[in-house]
Amino acid sequence: MSLFNKVLASIGVGAATVDTKLHKSSYTINETVTGVVEVTGGNTEQQIDAIYLTLYTSFVREIDDRKVNDQAALQNFQINEPFTIQANEKREIPFSFVLPTAVPVTAGQSRVWIHTGLDIKNAVDPKDTDYIDVQPTRLASSVLTAVQNLGFRVRKVDTEQAPSYLRNRMKVVQEFEFAPTNNTYRRYLDELELVFLEQSERSVEVLLQVDRRARGLGGFLSEALDMDESFIRLTLFASDNLEAKLADAIERKMK
């Protein structure tokens, strides 16, 4: 019977199972995620080589001028040494990790989840998936509010594959696309895009893309060649007058 159970367990029947239990479901960027992984033995003992957690996000990738939905593994953690789980035994393995800056916040179509897997030699690996709600830091949230107070509204939030010049620090970027709402900005700008490169409670680093409205023949030519888009890399501190600093950076690119 024991040999029969082992054969069944090797194809996933009566095998060990895994269930990740987070201490909460909503987290802020840079906050520590904590919980336990509960492993329950099946009908026979099994050797667990590893328990791993992988932080995933959904994003959009462009392939041959088509946009397709994809997913990216942002971080991977192994949380235990090898052990043997006995039949019907239950074990809880605690874990903790810091939610990195590169994780998109929960906005638009962006989704973030933790994938848990057991690595069992010569057997089907049990898996578990837990979605989490991700919020920006307080300062990042204040930056988004400041942009809106200047005279912009959020038009779209997308998570996309990071451009080549950013891939050494992040796999995906989350773009907040704003449309101008007041006369000053509507006269000169088509849109404003914002990407958070780093976030902490004291400072944020942002990349702004200012898309100037085409004016005259030269303007239309620039727009056709994608030369109308200007980039601003800016570090904002909690002690700054956010609206004034953002307005100054944007208006310098409008001239």
User: Is 45 or 99 the better-scoring residue by pLDDT?
Assistant: 99
Q: Environment class of residue 35 by beta-carbon count within 10 Å: exposed (0-12), middle (13-18) or buried (19+)?
A: buried
Token code pair at residue 245: 């600093």
Helix (H, G, I), strand (E, B) or coil at 7: helix
Written as one letter, the residue type at 241 is N
Over residues 242-254, the mean pLDDT reads 90
Q: pLDDT digits over 150-207, tens only? A: 999 999 999 988 877 777 778 898 999 999 998 888 888 888 999 999 888 899 999 9
Over residues 210-228, the mean pLDDT reads 48
Written as one letter, the residue type at 168 is N
Among the residue ranges 64-68, 139-143, 212-216, the one predicted with the least confidence is 212-216
* Beta strand spans in the chain (E): 17-22, 26-28, 32-40, 46-63, 66-78, 83-85, 90-98, 112-120, 127-135, 152-161, 172-180, 189-199, 203-212, 229-237
User: Which sign does the torsion angle of CA 96, 101, 106, 109 carry?
Assistant: negative
**CA distances (Å), origin 76, targets 52, 206, 232:** 7, 26, 32
Going by pLDDT thresholds of 50, 70 and 90, the confidence category of residue 121 is: low
Domains in the chain (CATH in brackets) are 15-135 (2.60.40.640), 138-254 (no CATH)
pTM (2 decimals)?
0.80
Q: pLDDT digits over 1-45, tens only? A: 354 334 333 433 346 888 899 999 999 999 999 999 998 887 778
**pLDDT of 179:** 93
**pLDDT of 229:** 57
Going by pLDDT thresholds of 50, 70 and 90, the confidence category of residue 251 is: confident
Q: pLDDT digits over 34-77, tens only? A: 999 998 887 778 888 888 899 999 998 877 778 888 899 999 98
Over residues 117-143, the mean pLDDT reads 83
User: Which sign does the torsion angle of CA 235, 240, 243, 245 carry?
Assistant: negative
Q: Compute the distance between CA of residue 216 and CA of residue 61 in angstroms, rounded to an integer.
A: 34
Q: Compute the distance between CA of residue 192 and CA of residue 209 in angstroms, rounded to an integer.
A: 6
